Amino acid sequence: MLPSLQESLDGDEKELESSEEGGSAEERRLDPPPSSHYCLYSYRGSRLAQQRADSDDGSPGGTNAETPSGDDFSLSLVDTNLPSEVEPELRSFIAKRLSKGAVFEGLGNVAAVELRIPGYRVGCYYCLFQQEKPLPQTASMDSEQKSSEYVVCFLGGSEKGLELYPFFEHTFRLELDKYIQGLKNNMNCEESGGENHIQSYLSSWFADVVCPIQRVVHLFQEKLTFLLHAALSYTPVEVKGSDEKTKRDIHRFLSVASLQGLIHEGTMTSLCMAMTEEQHKSVIIDCSSSQPQFHNAGSNRFCEDWMQAFMNGAEGGNPFLFRQVLENFKLKAIQDTNNLKRFIRQAEMNHYALFKCYMFLKNCGSGDILLKIVKVEHEEMPEAKNVVAVLEEFMKEAPAQSF
């Protein structure tokens, strides 16, 4: 079942209540803030692991075999910001994963790792990648220890953050895979600034991948409803007077919040063209003052309600939660779109279903956008197109606040 707005709101409220009610200050300190660490290893693969990966016979004995000997296997620390007493635990965990031959170049994995310090489980993304140009940090290594393969680990979150672990695995893994590609590009760039630039890139993974949605919510507050409406309606957005980081965050939010990839690509293209032709204007976001200002922006009740879900999440402070609320927002929009399409198919033969379409559009809170989406999709279907035309006439006569 798709998560509803009320479930998102209830979940946020329960999280806040649990932190406000009951328990001593010492107990509340047991729930640490999200952390972010990285480790970079130089890897020399084992023949045993390679044989396992190549055989792929599915036998249980392959996954239970012992870790290869030092002659076959090498995992050397290149750089990390983890405490020195914790890093060997992580290295042992990664070595076991590598020895099983289930780690493939360029495709990251996500797992829950329990470390002795800080004493709670964290989410760990790890990825094997190849690099022709050796890292500056490995220049002092012996020639036998140098390798063209590396393993990078990103650790983030807390015990509470791992409640979203399946979501983290599904949503952020692909984005972190892209982040690793950026790391490779930086390593290959002669003008990248060398070791310091790579360290900065690695240490910024949490801020660059996980936190942009949170920063946008904090920046716009109640005005976030305008950004949600622009994303949902595929309206062009132009950002003025902001630094590059803020501009990237805003466009990242718009990209994630849009329905691209969830509905037919041709529909999205046609919808974008229709919105541009209809408005002849982009939404302008002026960030030159302390409070961002919107021009040519639209809103509806659906976006206003979901904005409140984001505001509730802002009080909790969990950056992973913002992304989950955003995904719930998209799923609910898709659910409403599919329901409207079903009603339209019924209305082609049933006048009562036409009334159901009208009432659904009037009450869903996003009738203005949903009607545009189905109008584009049914452009080549005469009967459905006639139903949409009738609905448009009804909606023009309805009060604007009903949308």
Q: Render 179-195 in DSSP notation, one character per residue.
A: HHHHHHHHHH-TTS-HH
- Report if residue 209 sits inside a domain: no
- DSSP state letters, 225-275: HHHHHHHHHT--EEEES--HHHHHHHHHHHHHHS-BTTB-HHHHHHHHHHH
The residue with greater pLDDT, 165 or 22, is 165
- Report if residue 364 sits inside a domain: yes
Token pair recorded at residue 20: 């406000």
The pLDDT, as a whole number, for residue 47 is 44
- Give whichever of 27-41, 156-170, 335-349 has the largest mean pLDDT: 335-349
- Report if residue 345 sits inside a domain: yes
Do the Cβ atoms of 382 and 388 come closer than 8 Å?
Answer: no
pLDDT tens digits along 3-42: 555 555 454 444 444 444 444 333 333 334 456 899 999 9
- Report if residue 173 sits inside a domain: no
The residue with greater pLDDT, 163 or 347, is 347
pLDDT tens digits along 251-307: 999 999 988 765 555 555 555 555 555 555 789 999 999 899 999 999 999 999 999
The pLDDT, as a whole number, for residue 225 is 97
- DSSP state letters, 76-127: EEEEE-S-TTTHHHHHHHHHHHHHTT--BBTB-EEEEEE-TTTSSEEEEEEE
Token pair recorded at residue 297: 């922006």
Instruction: State the Cα–Cα distance between residues 109 and 173, nearest whole angstrom.
Output: 7
Residue 170, burial from CB neighbour count under 10 angstroms (0-12, 13-18, 19+): exposed
pTM above 0.85, yes or no: no
Instruction: State the Cα–Cα distance between residues 165 and 157, nearest whole angstrom.
Output: 9
CATH number at residue 118: 3.30.450
Instruction: State the Cα–Cα distance between residues 82 and 122, nearest whole angstrom.
Output: 13
Q: How many domains does the chain have?
A: 2
The pLDDT, as a whole number, for residue 280 is 54
- Report if residue 185 sits inside a domain: no
- Report if residue 9 sits inside a domain: no
The pLDDT, as a whole number, for residue 277 is 55
Containing 38, the helix (H) or strand (E) segment is strand 35-44
Range of 380's domain?
332-397
- Report if residue 343 sits inside a domain: yes
Q: Could you give the percent of the chain with pLDDT greater than 90?
A: 33
- Report if residue 375 sits inside a domain: yes
Q: Please state the length of the chain.
A: 403
Q: Over the chain, what is the mean pLDDT?
A: 77
